[in-house]
Amino acid sequence: MFGEDPKCGKCGKEIKGDEVVLVKMRYPKRRRDD
């Protein structure tokens, strides 16, 4: 979709696969305590 490889907005690492993006967005680190 984009000219550049998608990267995580928080850690800045390159994302390989939409699943990783969905997991990080739906389950942020802040909610891991719960």
Domains in the chain: boundaries:
1-34
Distance of CA 15 to the CA centre of its chain: 7
Indicate whether this model's pTM tops 0.75.
no
From the CB of residue 13, how many other CB atoms can be counted at a distance below 10 Å?
A: 10
pLDDT at position 10: 66
DSSP for 1-34, written as a single string: --SSPPB-TTT-PBP-SHHHHHHHHHS-GGGGG-
pLDDT in tens, 1-34: 455 666 666 666 666 655 555 555 555 566 555 5
pLDDT at position 1: 47
pLDDT at position 29: 60
